[in-house]
Amino acid sequence: MSERQIFSKILRLDKYIYNELLNLNGSLQKGIAIYIAVATLTTLSTFRFFNGMIEFLESNLIIFKGEMSDEEFQMFRSLIDELSIIFAQQDSTTSVLISSIVSTSMTTIVGLVICFLLLKFLFRKDVKPVDLLIISFFSSVPGLLVFPVLFIQDPLVQALIVLLTSIYALIAFGSGIKQVYLLRNIEVILVVIALTFGGSIIGSA
Backbone angles phi, psi at 65, to 5 degrees: -60, -35
DSSP string, 46-57: HHHHHHHHHHHH
pLDDT tier at 75, thresholds 50, 70, 90: confident
Q: What is the per-residue pLDDT across 175-204, written as a single tens digit (0 to 9) for each?
A: 999 999 999 999 999 999 999 887 666 555
pLDDT in tens, 18-29: 999 999 999 999
- Report pLDDT for 35: 95
**Domain count of the chain?**
1
Q: Residue 111 sits in which domain range?
A: 3-204
Residues ≥6 apart with Cβ < 8 Å to 96: 43, 47, 90
pLDDT value for 91: 53
